[in-house]
Structure 1
Amino acid sequence: MKQNKYDDPVFFTNYSQMARSVGGLEAAGEWPAFRAMLPELRDQRVLDLGCGFGWHCRYARERQARSVIGVDLSENMLARARASTDDSAIEYRQMAIEDIDFAGEQFDVVISSLTLHYIERFDAVCQKIHHYLVPGGAFVFSVEHPIFTALAAQDWIYGSQGERLHWPVDDYQSEGPRQARFLDNDVVKYHRTVATHINVLLDSGFGITRLSEPQPPQYMLDTVPGMQDELRRPMFLIIAATKLP
């Protein structure tokens, strides 16, 4: 199932007003952990799946990547990315992640930020990425944490005064689609356990190099209302893997 909510004008306007849409990578709570798990990017050929506004593409070039291809399904996202990019070494292509088609061993690094939980066939995408990477190439991606995606509601249990009592986890082992609400729209996300993420990567020929369930950085904990509650359950899962020889 290929979803493109971002070309809906109202949805795109709401998304564009989110803190991470305005402030970029430094406004994304998981970014410090994601950045720390990236390999050396100097002189590397990078593929960014679900590139959005192109923040990660431009970061890769700041780290002196040789070339970057950013892929996204949304025309609106890519228009914003192109308008924010003045660099001939970055190329943006409009296509669904499920439809990517590149040459074998074309890339040294593949990254994806918060997109793969929208993809039904994670295994098929991993197999493609494995083919496109050189031996020893890196695959680093973030998804919404399975504790976060297990229930479609994706919300706290509240007390009588509106206080956040706890985060519910149910149906964790029941993998598959969840119809969630995001920016007042119905979106379909695909819930997979942590074990499934790891085992699919292993079955696809990757070695796992690092996992992260990141906490928000201290400056966000100190300044963003409600951010302290993000210490009570993980919202993101970040995995770094390497294509085995």
Structure 2
Amino acid sequence: MKIHEKLKKSYDILSKHYEFDVDTKTFNAYYERPAMIKAIGKIKNLRVLDAGCGAGYYTKWLIDNNAKEVVAIDFSKKMVEATKRKVENKAHVLELDLNAKLPFNNNYFDMIVSALTLHYVKDLNFTLSEFKRVLKENGVLIFSINHPIMTYLYFSLENYFEEILLEDLINKVPVYFYHRSFDTIFDALYNNNFFVVNMYEPKPTKDFLKMDEKNYKKLMKKPNFLIIKAIKSNVTK
């Protein structure tokens, strides 16, 4: 079985965990999500793509905060089903793969939100080229990923600059993702006409401290996730 198919199977298995447990887990609820929501800002009357929707947390948040239209996509059938249960018919929820061409018109979305997803795609340049295609001019891309420094240190990599596929466990289920250096990430953004306007290395909230003091202290010293906010521009390089 290919790695991509293994990953899909893993996230089908993990779908119940994401649907019923993750909203109260410290690293999601009190670390990544507060920082992402701050980065996203106002989305009223915007057409937004939730790229890698998981069990639908951000999909629902976008709806609740008055986005004009929300389209949510994920490559896991079970995750798509979980999102549909969460938002019913208030969003278009589709089973789609970010490693393949997207079935959306050019210049369609005002914003793309992608939470902890892009480290799973095989070819970051390709996925970002599709994001560029479906975003309007001056459209906004906001995404969170595993921090390159975290993956370099945690997995004791010999070469920080090497793009490498890694295996980790979530609830004892194997998942596979790519370590990419800052150079690789920012080159892919530059090559696809994305101008970075902000980069965030989030810190845990006080609610995190109440629930998990040990990891709170670790995250206050070294980051786990990286959030990037970029704008699509047609400025000639």
TM class by shorter-chain length? 0.7 to 0.9
Partner of 1:164: none
Distance (Å, rounded) in 1 between the aligned partners of 2:176 and 2:60: 29
Decide whether the 8 Å contact of 1:48 with 1:112 is kept in 2. Answer: yes
What secondary structure is seen at the aligned counterpart in 1 of 2:55? coil
- Say whether 1:41 aligns with 2:62: no
- Partner residue of 1:242? 231
Cα shift at 1:84:
1.5
TM-score (norm 1): 0.84
Tell me the equivalent position of 1:181. Answer: 169
Q: Tell me the CA shift for residue 182 of structure 1.
A: 2.9
Moved more, 123-132 or 98-107: 98-107
**Residue 96 of structure 2: aligned partner:** 95
TM-score of the two chains, using structure 2 as the length reference: 0.87
Question: Equivalent pairs: percent with the same residue?
Answer: 26
Structure 2 residue runs without a partner (length 5+): none
Distance (Å, rounded) in 1 between the aligned partners of 2:95 and 2:58? 16
SS in 2 for 1:103: coil
Matched, 1:219 2:207: yes
Quickly say closer, same or farther: Cα 1:96–1:122, change in 2 above 3 A: same
Q: Which residue of 2 aligns with 1:147?
A: 149
The DSSP-based 3-state class of the residue aligned with 2:143 is: strand
Relative to total residues, which structure has the larger helix share, 1 or 2?
A: 2
Matched letter for residue 11 of structure 2? Y
Per the alignment, residue 11 of structure 2 pairs with 6
Number of residue pairs matched by the alignment: 227
Task: Letter of the 2:219 partner, please give it.
Answer: E
Aligned residue runs from structure 1 range 96-245, under 5 A: 96-99=97-100, 100-150=102-152, 154=154, 170-226=158-214, 227-245=216-234
Measured after TM superposition, the shift of residue 219 of structure 1 is 2.0
Misfit runs of 4+, over 3 Å: 11-18, 21-26
Change (3 A) 1:24 1:182: closer
> What's the RMSD between the two structures over aligned residues?
2.2
Q: Tell me by how many angstroms 1:39 deviates.
A: 4.3
Distance 1:23 1:148 in 2: 19
CA distance in 1, matches of 2:28, 2:168: 26
Report the structure number with the largest CA radius of gyration.
1
Aligned mates of 1:25, 1:62 — CA distance in 2: 22
Amino acid in the other structure paired with 2:93: Y
